[in-house]
Structure 1
Amino acid sequence: MGWLTYAMAMPPALVVVLRILSAILPPHQARLASFGAFFVTSMLTMLACAAYGVVASIALRCVGYGGLSQWTVARAFKWSMWVLTGVTFRIQDSGKIVGGKRGGLEALQERPAVIVGNHQTELDVLMLGCVFPRYTSVTAKKSLKWVPFLGWFMSLSKTVFIDRANRTTARAAFDGAANTMRTERQNVFIFPEGTRSYASEPELLPFKKGAFHLAIQAQVPVIPVVVANYNNVLDVKNKNFSSGVIDVSVLPAIPTKGLTAADADALTTRTRDAMMDELIRLSHVSGPGNGVPLPRASGVDRSSDELRKRT
C-alpha cells in the first residue's frame, strides 16, 4: 500500500509546489507555474467528481432518479472548483423578452428542451457545473465512453454518445435522445460549434445542425446559453490563468412547435445570430469590449446604463 499512498499524494503535492513557485518566480515563470497548478487541480477535481458520479448515478438510478445524476455531479464540480481555483460562472438575465418569455433562470425551468451554448475551452465543463438545470444530460464524442471513471459516470447518467465518423449511428443516437426527451422530459445540452474555439475575442464558429434537428424532431424549444469571452481568465494558447467570475446569459427559449426538418437551417441561423448579438453585448458588460462594436441590429443603446438590459 506504500506505493499507492505515494502515487495518490504526488499530484496534490505537485499543486502545492507549483503554487509556491508561482508566488516567488519571475513573472513569466510564475504565470506558467500558476497555469500548471490550475491544470493539475482541475484534472484532479474532475477525476474525483467523476468517481463520485459513478456512485451517485448508481444510487439515483436505483431509486428512480437517474435523470438527476449529471446535475448532482455538476454542482459538486462547481463548488469544488470555486473553493480550489477561485473560478465560477454566474447566470445573468439579459432582460430580453421573446413571445412573452424571459431568459435567465426562468428560461432554464422549461423542460424538456435542447440547450445550446458556445464552446470556448475545456473550462466549459465548469460552466456546465454552474448552469446545468435538473434533469439534463450532455452529448459527448463516443471515445469518452471508455475513459475510466469519467466514461463510466457518463454511461450511467444518460449521456448521448455521438460517433461523429458514422452518420448512421449518430442519427440513431439522436433518435434515442428525442424519444427520451419526450417520454422522460429530459433536457439535452449540446455545443453546436462542435469543438472549442479558444477565442481571444467574442466570436462563434459555424454551427452544426444536429442540435436543431433534434429540437425539431422532439418538438421541444431551443434555449441558447451565451458565455462571455473569458480569455482574461483562461488563455490556453498562452498558458495564462487567473481566478474570476464569468458571466453567462440565458436567452429566452426559441419554440419549435410545428417546425419540420426543412426549417432546421433557419432555426440554426436564428439561434446563432441571437447568440452572437448577446456575446458581443456581454463583452461590453463583463469586460473592456475586446474592440468589438455593439451591433446596430441589437437595439441596445450604447450608453453604459443601457448595456446591462434589453427590452
Structure 2
Amino acid sequence: MDLWPWLSAALLLLLLLVQLSRSAKFYAKISLYCALCLGVSTVASVICLLRHGGRTVENMRIISWFVRSFKYLYGLRFEVHGLEKLEADQPCVIISNHQSILDMMGLMETLPKRCVQIAKRELLFLGPVGLIMYLGGVFFINRQHSSTAVTVMAEVGDRMVRENLKVWIYPEGTRNSNGDLLPFKKGAFYLAIQAQVPIIPVVYSSFSSFYNPETKLFTSGTIKVEVLDAIPTSGLTVADVPRLMDTCHRDMRSTFFRVSKMPQENGASGGLQALPAQ
C-alpha cells in the first residue's frame, strides 16, 4: 500500500489547520521548538565532545551559537542595552526574570563568556537536552533536598571564584507569565555574599504581546533586554541578604514595567538603595 498520498494529505491538513486555527499554530510552533531543542542538543553534544572532550564552560559558546539561530525561525528580535556590563573579566552572580520556555533564547542572546547556569536536577534527565546542559557546565540542584542544595551552592561559590566563572540564576525559582515578578528566593544572594562577588540584574520585557499559552498566542515580536548596574557585595554578611534581595527585586520590577511599557502596580518603586559595607 502506497502511504505517500496519505502522508501528503495529512501534511496538507496540518498546514491548513495551522493557517486557520490559532491553537493549532501555537502547538505547532511549540512542537517545533521542542524538536529544535532535541535536535540541536544532539548535534551540539557531538561537537562539544569532539572539540573539548567533555564537560567545560567553554562548551557554552557552542551551545549559544546554535540557540541564537532559533530567533530567525520565530521572527523574534532582541534589543539589548548595557551588554558591556556583563563583559567584565571577574566572577559575578547574574540574576534575571523567568517567563517561559523561550527564556533560553534570551539567555543565550546575552550570555557572557565563562558563564554557567544553575538549574533544577530534573533537567539532567531530559535526554540530549540534559547531556548538553551537563557538557556546558550547568550546576544541577535537587530542590527537594535542601541540605544537598546548600552543598552544591557552596561548591558553586568556591568554583566561581577559583575558575573565574559567572553564574546565571533565575531568583523567582520558576517560570512566571503573570505580568509581574514573583518574590525572589534567597539562594542567589547567599551565593553572591558568600563569594563576595557583585550581582548583576538582567531584565527581559514581557512576552505577553507575542506569546501567551493561555490564549494560544505565538507570533513574532521584540524583546527588550536591559542589563542593570552591578551591585557590590564586598563586606556584606548573611544578615544583609533580605535587604539585598528586596533592593534587587524592586529595581528589577520597576525596570520590567518600564521596558514592557506596562503600568506599574502595587506601589513598586525604582532606584537602588545603598547597602552598607560591614
Q: Does 1:192 align with 2:181?
A: no
Mapping of 1:144-223 within 5 angstroms?
144-199=123-178, 201=179, 203-223=180-200
1:19–1:37 distance in 2 versus 1, CA, 3 Å: farther
Q: Does 1:76 align with 2:66?
A: yes
The CA distance in 1 between the partners of 2:11 and 2:245, in whole Å, is: 42
1:246–1:165 distance in 2 versus 1, CA, 3 Å: same
Q: Residue type of the partner of 1:109?
A: E
The CA distance in 1 between the partners of 2:238 and 2:172, in whole Å, is: 19
The CA distance in 1 between the partners of 2:183 and 2:116, in whole Å, is: 23
The CA distance in 2 between the partners of 1:263 and 1:40, in whole Å, is: 44
1:58–1:296 distance in 2 versus 1, CA, 3 Å: closer
How big is the shift at 1:16? 8.1
1:243–1:178 distance in 2 versus 1, CA, 3 Å: same
Counterpart pick for 1:46 among 37, 41, 48: 37
What are the ranges of 5 or more consecutive residues in structure 2 without an aligned counterpart? 272-278
RMSD across aligned positions (CA): 2.5
Q: Residue type of the partner of 1:264?
A: V
How big is the shift at 1:255? 0.7
The CA distance in 2 between the partners of 1:17 and 1:163, in whole Å, is: 43
Give the aligned partner of residue 24 of structure 2: 33
Residue by residue over 1:232-258, the C-alpha shift from the partner in whole angstroms, topping out at 9 and shown as x without a partner, is: 111012211111121111101111111
Task: Tell me if structure 2 keeps the 8 A contact 1:89–1:247.
Answer: yes
Give the aligned partner of residue 85 of structure 1: 74
How big is the shift at 1:89? 2.7
Q: Residue type of the partner of 1:247?
A: K
The CA distance in 2 between the partners of 1:21 and 1:242, in whole Å, is: 16
Which secondary structure does the structure 2 equivalent of 1:247 belong to?
strand
Q: Does 1:121 align with 2:100?
A: yes
Q: Does 1:236 align with 2:233?
A: no
What are the ranges of 5 or more consecutive residues in structure 1 without an aligned counterpart? 1-5, 93-103, 300-311
Task: Tell me if structure 2 keeps the 8 A contact 1:280–1:294.
Answer: no
How big is the shift at 1:60? 4.3
* Identity within the alignment, %: 34
Count of equivalent residues:
264
How big is the shift at 1:293? 6.7
1:19–1:188 distance in 2 versus 1, CA, 3 Å: farther
The CA distance in 2 between the partners of 1:296 and 1:210, in whole Å, is: 23
Q: Does 1:140 align with 2:136?
A: no
Task: Tell me if structure 2 keeps the 8 A contact 1:41–1:84.
Answer: no
1:194–1:294 distance in 2 versus 1, CA, 3 Å: closer
How big is the shift at 1:73? 0.6
The CA distance in 2 between the partners of 1:60 and 1:283, in whole Å, is: 40
Residue by residue over 1:72-131, the C-alpha shift from the partner in whole angstroms, topping out at 9 and shown as x without a partner, is: 21231111x122221243312xxxxxxxxxxx1121112311110001111111111211
Counterpart pick for 1:265 among 214, 217, 242: 242
Give the aligned partner of residue 22 of structure 1: 18
TM-score normalized by the length of structure 2:
0.87
The CA distance in 1 between the partners of 2:241 and 2:12, in whole Å, is: 50
How big is the shift at 1:294? 11
1:17–1:209 distance in 2 versus 1, CA, 3 Å: farther
